[in-house]
Structure 1
Amino acid sequence: MDAEQWIDRFLMQMELERGLSNHTIQAYARDLGRFNLYLRGRGLDLGGLTQDDLNAYLVDLGRGLSFRSVARHVSAIRVFLKYLVRHGVISGNPARLLDLPKMRRKLPEILSLDEVDKLLAAPDGRSPKGLRDRAMLEVLYAAGLRVSELIQLRTFLVDLEGGFLRTMGKGSKERLVPLGVRAVEAVRGYLQGGRPSLRKGPNSPYLFLNMRGGRMSRQGFWKLIKQYGRQAGIKKEITPHVLRHSFASHLLEGGADLRSVQIMLGHADISTTQIYTHVTRERLKAVHEKHHPRP
């Protein structure tokens, strides 16, 4: 069996056994597809692969990709070759001792409280579309959801009386996240005055519908949030993840403990959440330098 067939089998197992998202599976497919092209172009086969071969591949990648992208490729190759060892295709994993490129951790972009207020006020609440968009933005910021979690949110998973929602995160792990009063009010307004007008044909289980009555897509929401960012006069690059970053940073600035923020974000490792403590420190330093008489 050639490398391409093993890659297909590996991707199928990742999807079925680990419950990874389509986005993650597609990233694995792209990275391993590029790796396969490299092997074929140099006449290399999986059975004879060495660490020197992999180091040469990383050098090749480094000519056109960022450190972060190269690190992602290394991660994909490691997992794939480990899978091949388990299935007896190769006797050892030549990627086991492969060094990840060293990266300077980039602090995430976040919005100020004033910018969040402007963004959430941008949709026109007099139309069904505006009611939907405001509700989506309010929920995204109130619960710190990933965009995939937001668009896949089903109506029955939102408890407006209790003020929380249930969502399925990475690795098919379910978590409960509180909703604030404003998000609850925005969703109520959308359910009463927006969603009935957007619904076409049989009732969809999804909370947020597009103009054809189907589920809102990732691309559709990305376009919306960028449009409202421009409309609100915000100069920063606005993405759904910027609101998630802002949610976490604003909670910590307000005194929330790191463990609680980790649970709400659905991070498996608290070290992932700790990046927001660095963001908070940087913001405090900026405020100090701007306003202290002797910075």
Structure 2
Amino acid sequence: MNFGDSIDAFVSALRFERGMAENTCKAYARDLRIFADWAAEHGKTAADGLSRMEIALFFQDERQEGRKGSTRARRAAAVRQFYHFLRERRLIPRDPTELLDPPRKEQPLPRILTEAEVFAMLDAVNGKDPRSLRDRALLELLYGCGLRVSEACDLELDDIVADGELVRVVGKGSKERVVPIGHAAGQAINAYLASGRAAFVRGRATETHLFATRLGGPFTRQAVFKTIRQRAAAVGIAPERISPHVLRHCFASHMLQHGADIRAIQELLGHADIGTTQIYTHVDSARFGEIHRKYHPRAL
């Protein structure tokens, strides 16, 4: 079986057997095609033609070409799962990645805005026109509930439950969680539903997504990025400092600063591994420095 057919079979299994999100499937396919192109340059057109040493050389070339640690780790995970799938289906006699050490993934600290910066951006979106009402509701929900951009785009009207006090979210791996909607986000959503959303959907009863574009369809990831950066620019926040995921980081970091339990934050974010959440404990170095100076007997 050539590389193309092998990759198609693997991605199909991810999509239909494991139920992985479409964006995840596309990312796996993209990384594996890069691997297949590298193999073709080295005279290999099928997955079973590569040895463990040759695959290790691919990882080495990725590092020497200056790929980020996170990119190399993701690509290595894709290659390893691909070979595991082929061996499991008995499409290859052995798994050459079995004894390979994966590249180490670097863990950069999340970028965050201060509370004052986030509040300034939110408070500046204070118009009563449909677009302002929609954008305020979107921003309040991203910051107030810590949603991923894809989760916000996928929200439907009936995901706002318990009289508007909770939002039902389907996260990575189709895992469902329920997140409280705070007072500010709740007010913004109510205002948008009462006076803003109808202007976008224009009576289209079939459109059930919570957030809609001016064309009446559901919000896309690109539309969310554009909206956030426009609203941030209005209060002087540079575009490279803001994104939907930065607001998710702010949600976690600001809650931690106010004393929230790390396990509770893990549940709210939908992290499967507490280690993913613990990176936020390294962000607020100024606060921890202050605590150390205040309480350690030898700090002063």
Classify the TM-score, shorter chain.
over 0.9
- What's the counterpart of residue 22 of structure 1? 22
Pair 1:268 & 2:272 matched: yes
Q: Does the residue aligned with 1:275 lie in a helix, a strand or coil?
A: helix
- What's the counterpart of residue 112 of structure 1? 114
Tell me the matched-pair count: 292
The amino acid that maps onto 2:58 is: Y
Partners of 1:200 and 1:212 within 8 A in 2: no
Gaps of 5+ in 1: none
Q: 1:116 to 1:166 in 2, by over 3 A?
A: same
CA deviations over 1:97-131 (Å, ceiling 9, x no partner)? 22223344210001111011011123242210000
Give the CA deviation at 1:226.
0.8
CA deviations over 1:182-239 (Å, ceiling 9, x no partner)? 1010000001110111113522110001001110110011011011111111246100
Give the CA deviation at 1:18.
2.0
- What's the counterpart of residue 168 of structure 1? 170
Partners of 1:3 and 1:46 within 8 A in 2: yes
Partners of 1:141 and 1:247 within 8 A in 2: yes
- What's the counterpart of residue 57 of structure 2? 56
1:209 and 1:27 mapped to 2: Cα distance? Answer: 26
CA deviations over 1:167-193 (Å, ceiling 9, x no partner)? 100010110000101101000000111
Compare 56-65 and 174-183 and name the one that shifted more.
56-65
The amino acid that maps onto 1:57 is: F
The amino acid that maps onto 2:8 is: D
Give the CA deviation at 1:90.
1.6
The amino acid that maps onto 2:263 is: R
Partners of 1:160 and 1:184 within 8 A in 2: no
1:29 and 1:155 mapped to 2: Cα distance? Answer: 32
Q: Does the residue aligned with 2:241 lie in a helix, a strand or coil?
A: coil
The amino acid that maps onto 2:260 is: A
1:216 and 1:173 mapped to 2: Cα distance? Answer: 21
Relative to the length of structure 1, the TM-score reads 0.93
Gaps of 5+ in 2: 293-298
- What's the counterpart of residue 219 of structure 2? 216
2:28 and 2:286 mapped to 1: Cα distance? Answer: 35
- What's the counterpart of residue 9 of structure 2? 9
Within 5 Å, which residues of 2 pair with 1:1-295?
1-44=1-44, 45-62=46-63, 63-159=65-161, 161=163, 163-203=165-205, 204-235=207-238, 237-280=241-284, 282-285=285-288
CA deviations over 1:236-288 (Å, ceiling 9, x no partner)? 610000000010111111111111111110011111111111113x2425768
Relative to the length of structure 2, the TM-score reads 0.92
Q: Does the residue aligned with 1:19 lie in a helix, a strand or coil?
A: coil
2:212 and 2:53 mapped to 1: Cα distance? Answer: 51
Q: Does the residue aligned with 1:84 lie in a helix, a strand or coil?
A: helix
CA deviations over 1:51-82 (Å, ceiling 9, x no partner)? 11011111222214112211111000000000
Identity of aligned residues (%): 41
Q: Does the residue aligned with 2:11 lie in a helix, a strand or coil?
A: helix
